[in-house]
Amino acid sequence: MRYITFALAKGRLAKKTLEIFEQIGITCEEMKDESSRKLIFTNEELGLRFFLAKANDVPTYVEYGAADIGIVGKDTILEEGRNLYEVYDLGIGKCRMCVCGPESAKKYLNGHELIRVATKYPNIAKDYFYNRKHQTVEIIKLNGSVELAPIVGLSEVIVDIVETGATLRENGLQVLEEVCDLSARVVVNQVSMKMESLRIMDIIDKLRIRDEQRKTEVQ
């Protein structure tokens, strides 16, 4: 039996994903050993392999077939723009992609001003301003502490992920516009979806049944 290979985004998301997988009968005891230096973890009985990767790299591994299935945030999927199938919303890691800045920056978002936008997500920002708002902007790519940009005058606004908004408020910033909702998604390689459709859809169906049962319990 051919292995089905999973690429998981490192960190909290991988941990939460493995907890969900355990609930549907997909386990990998090797991954629980935090001292392990292994790069690839295997469940021989189920014919499954797992590896951890930087979130930005997960769509690449999936597009090129190094992984059949990937678990990664919607922000990464949108930013990377890879050719793959997005098949399920895991409903974890929920947050929003937003345009943020000081209240005084609202006036710059009317579509007529040429403004600077700082972000870790240049492709998402470009798509939002150019294609949805039809506003010409200068995108400035940053790798960290994006909230600093409007405070020091690098940009008028930022495009960034917002969870609670606490960091924004502490720095005198606020959400000015919402770009999209984000959460962890299941993505699948296009060839794998054809070649291993039964096994892959069985996993998706189990995830769906789990979520439906949880909704029923809440009600």
pTM of the model: 0.90
> Given pLDDT bands bounded at 50, 70 and 90, which one contains residue 55?
very high
Domain match, 8 and 89 both: yes
Q: Evaluate whether 4 touches 68 at the Cβ level (below 8 Å).
A: yes
* Percent of the chain predicted with pLDDT > 70: 99
Domain match, 101 and 174 both: yes
pLDDT for position 219: 62
CA–CA distance from 189 to each of 70, 111, 151, 199, 208 (Å)?
8, 38, 42, 13, 19
Domain match, 202 and 171 both: no
Domain match, 82 and 190 both: yes
Rounded-to-integer distance, Cα 204 and Cα 206, Å = 5
Residue 88 dihedral angles phi and psi, to the nearest 5°: -160, 145
| Spacing of C-alpha 144 from chain mean position | 17
Residues 54-81 have a mean pLDDT of 97
Domain match, 89 and 187 both: yes
pLDDT in tens, 68-103: 999 999 999 999 999 999 999 999 999 999 999 999
Rounded-to-integer distance, Cα 63 and Cα 192, Å = 10
> Given pLDDT bands bounded at 50, 70 and 90, which one contains residue 22?
very high
Rounded-to-integer distance, Cα 149 and Cα 145, Å = 8
Q: Which domain holds residue 13?
A: 4-93+183-218
Domain match, 28 and 52 both: yes
Residues 172-177 have a mean pLDDT of 96
Report the b/e string of 143-159 with b at 16+ CB within 10 A: eeebbebbeeeebbbbb
Domain match, 9 and 89 both: yes
CA–CA distance from 76 to each of 51, 114, 189 (Å)?
18, 27, 16
Domain match, 40 and 89 both: yes
Domain match, 168 and 62 both: no
> Which residues lie closer than 8 Å to 35 by C-beta, 6 or more apart?
none
Total structural domains within the chain: 2
pLDDT for position 18: 92
CATH number of the CATH domain containing 167: 3.40.190.10
The per-residue pLDDT of the chain, averaged, comes to: 93
pLDDT for position 218: 67
pLDDT in tens, 120-138: 999 999 999 999 999 999 9
Q: Evaluate whether 58 touches 72 at the Cβ level (below 8 Å).
A: yes
